[in-house]
Amino acid sequence: MPTFTSADGLSLHYEDHGTGLAVLCLAGLTRNSGDFEFLMPHLSHVRAIRMDYRGRGQSEYAEDFMTYSIVQEAEDAVALLDHLGIERAVVIGTSRGGLISMFLAALHPSRLRGVVLNDIGPDIAELGLTRIMEYLGREPQFPDLDAAGEALHAVYAPDFPGVPVSRWRRQAELMWYEKPEGGLGLRYDARLRDAMIAQAEAGPAPDLWPLFDQLAEVPLCALRGENSDLLTPATFERMQAHAPDMHAVTIPDRAHVPFLDEPEAVAAIHALLEHCK
């Protein structure tokens, strides 16, 4: 199991496959390297690197949950690139991973070769954030993964029409695991909820538009799920006004977040990777 050590001594897991252009895949808030499982068959022509953030997946949990922050996770991403001897990489950032990309543009701009934002922007819609806080840090109340897959299919079918139960069953397995005593456990540190609440109480969220403007200095692609409750059409339009050269693509029949194996997503990602060679 490949790991590297963060500056504060945590063992962090990553996956590293292929050769060529380095592509660093950064997952959503509670997710892990499995978040890109459906995209991986479409990245066989590049060096695809996937990272488990601290407190997620197979990475160690931090003693201080306040280190579950975007800034720290950005520094961990740079530490992984250093560990692998990679000077610059294209970043594909899903949700939280896209926010980390913005901070990388501000803190370590020379490390970015290009960026794909998956259903995230400088403004986060309150509706989507409220939905996330409803489940964050709480074990799902399903008896097993089969039941979880059925439930995900029932809940998300209106916004993800045509996605079969089997895909939702696999998605459930990537997010949760079956506990020996029954029920499902989280594949991340539940104290991530405490970190989010404490950070929100510490003061207003920073204005991310200046960071996004710096991100626009590199080849940039932004994807939005047509039915997203986190990235609104108005924010998506404003992003295009701020970054006229950005390739903006709406993924039909998807909410937060697209799986990234949709034809529109694959075509957009391939176009950016080709541009960054």
The whole-number pLDDT of residue 205 equals 82
Domain ranges of the chain: 3-137+189-276, 138-187
pLDDT of residue 223: 98
pLDDT for the residue numbered 46: 98
- Residue 178: predicted pLDDT: 98
| Site of tokens 């799920």 | 225
**H or E segment and range at residue 14:** strand 11-17
For residue 128, what pLDDT is reported?
Answer: 92
pLDDT of residue 1: 80
For 141, the 3-state DSSP assignment is: coil
- What pLDDT score does 137 carry? 96
- What pLDDT is recorded for position 245? 96
206, 32, 15: which is closest to 102 by C-alpha?
206
Burial of 220 (0-12, 13-18, 19+ CB in 10 A): buried
Using an 8 Å Cβ cutoff, are 174 and 31 in contact? yes
Give the pLDDT confidence score for residue 216 in this predicted structure.
86
* Cβ-count burial 94-112 (b if 16+ within 10 Å, e if not): bbbbbbbbbbbbbeeeebb
What is the C-alpha to C-alpha distance for residues 151 and 245, in angstroms, rounded to an integer? 40
Structure tokens at 238: 């404003």
User: How long is the chain?
Assistant: 277
Q: Are strands 11-17 and 3-5 parallel, antiparallel or unpaired?
A: antiparallel
CB-based contacts of 130, cutoff 8 Å, min separation 6: none
What is the rounded distance in angstroms from the CA atom of residue 142 to the CA atom of residue 177?
A: 11
**Tens digit of pLDDT at every position of the chain (277 positions):** 899 999 999 999 999 999 999 999 999 999 999 999 999 999 999 999 999 999 999 999 999 999 999 999 999 999 999 999 999 999 999 999 999 999 999 999 999 999 999 999 999 999 999 999 999 999 999 999 999 999 999 999 999 999 999 999 999 999 999 999 999 999 999 999 999 999 999 888 889 999 999 998 899 999 999 999 999 999 999 999 999 999 999 999 999 999 999 999 999 999 999 999 8
Spell out the alpha helix ranges (H) of the chain: 70-84, 96-107, 126-135, 145-156, 165-175, 192-201, 209-215, 233-242, 263-276
Query: Do β-strands 22-26 and 11-17 pair in parallel, antiparallel, or remain unpaired?
Result: unpaired
- In 3-state terms, what secondary structure has residue 116? strand
CATH number of 3-137+189-276: 3.40.50.1820
